[in-house]
Amino acid sequence: MELAINLGIDGAVEIARAAEEAGFSIALASDNFATDALTVLSYVAASTRRIRLMSGVMQIPARPPATTALAAASLAVLSGGRFSLGLGVSNPHVSEGWYGVPFDAPLGRTREYVRILRRALAGEAVQVHGEHFRLPAGKHGGVPLALATRPLPGAMPIHLGAVGPKNLRLTGEIADGWIGAFCSPQEVRAAVAELAEGRSAANATMAGFDVLPCVTTYIDEDVEAAADRLRDHYAKLLAVGSVDENFFCKTLTRDGFGEQAVEIHERMRAGDRQGAAAVVPLEFIDNTALLGPPARVRRKMTAYAEAGATTLGIMITAAKADTIEKITQVHAVKAAGIAA
């Protein structure tokens, strides 16, 4: 099992360099309310030499597929071929509330988007008349165009972030890897079963398919103290949108903490961020994180590998810690881990 490091803006280069020195394989950055994935990865690409770079994930509603293809091809060239794509269809709150794109038929939109990307990255003149995308569009003489970036990326791997059986099966069918978030080892095992169904539908096996769950991480001899470093991050995620629609609230409710999900949401809405963070159950954090002393973290990493993870994303960005502390965590994870 390989290791990946999840990056934000703060300390991105320093943390990526530390991860590269420690033997991590991939540096991931995502689109969210604080960062643009490609901006962070471009900055990191100029300051690293070996570590691979992946958008984990770029939001599909944020960019037309041709824009994504052009950006991916450019970064692949500038990084010496180290960049690959991770994409996600997002959720209704972000798609409609932030990007202004209706969250309609997400599976069909994802399928068309990936199909266009693969054709564009291969250098084809793209002509598509789908339900969600039309190229050329309009009535003013537009013609099919092709990517002019050289060298062409060709068969660039594409990962998809996905939750839910249908989305996971689609990912197995059309993608080269899966990016998960806030998954226990048991949930990774269940996801792999759905991914394998999708692979079978495409007459493919799981061989060479990357299973990349990203897990919040903090190593400390005191498990509860480690969890305290992560509580604020969980509270922020639980506050997005409505309780009924928020993926993390649904997960918390499914795990038996429905009352806490509502209380966290209400406290965050009222501006009581510290109080909301204190309500996040230790059990919920522990299920979906690498937490505690090195030996305990090692056992959890082994559980992820046995569940089918081929790469493990280390989300030290979730911790309330400065850059120096996060770099220390990078080396602590490597020392504790089982990565090849």
Q: Which two tokens stand for residue 303?
A: 């559980």
Q: Which residues 6+ apart lie within 8 Å of 46 measured at CB?
A: 78
Spell out a b/e string for 255-273, using b for 16 or more CB atoms within 10 Å of the CB, else e. bebeebbbbbbebbeeebe
Residues 283 and 251: their CA atoms lie apart, in Å, by 13
pLDDT in tens, 231-280: 999 999 888 878 888 888 888 898 899 999 999 989 998 999 999 999 99
Q: Could you state, in order of their start, the residue ranges of all structural domains in the chain?
A: 2-220+293-336
Q: Which two tokens stand for residue 53?
A: 């770079």
Q: Would you call 114 exposed, middle or buried from its count of C-beta atoms within 10 A (0-12, 13-18, 19+)?
A: buried
Question: 2-220+293-336 has which fold?
Answer: TIM Barrel (3.20.20)
Answer whether residue 182 shows pLDDT above 90. Answer: no
Could you tell me whether strands 177-181 and 210-219 are parallel, antiparallel, or unpaired per DSSP bridges?
parallel
3-state class of 170 per DSSP?
helix
Which residues of 173-222 form beta strands (DSSP E)?
A: 177-181, 210-219
Q: How far is CA 12 from the centre of its chain?
A: 16
pLDDT in tens, 52-104: 999 999 999 999 999 999 999 999 999 999 999 999 998 888 888 889 999 89
**Mean pLDDT of the chain, nearest integer:** 94
What is the helix (H) or strand (E) element at residue 281, kind and residue range?
Answer: none
Q: Which two tokens stand for residue 281?
A: 């159950």
Which segment of 79-93, 101-115, 325-339 scores lowest on mean pLDDT?
Answer: 325-339
Structure pTM?
Answer: 0.94
Residues 32-39: contacts with CB within 8 Å, 24+ apart?
Answer: 33/98, 34/8, 34/9, 35/8, 35/9, 38/71, 38/75
Residues 251 and 303: their CA atoms lie apart, in Å, by 20
The full DSSP string for 282-298 is HHHHHHTEEEESHHHHH
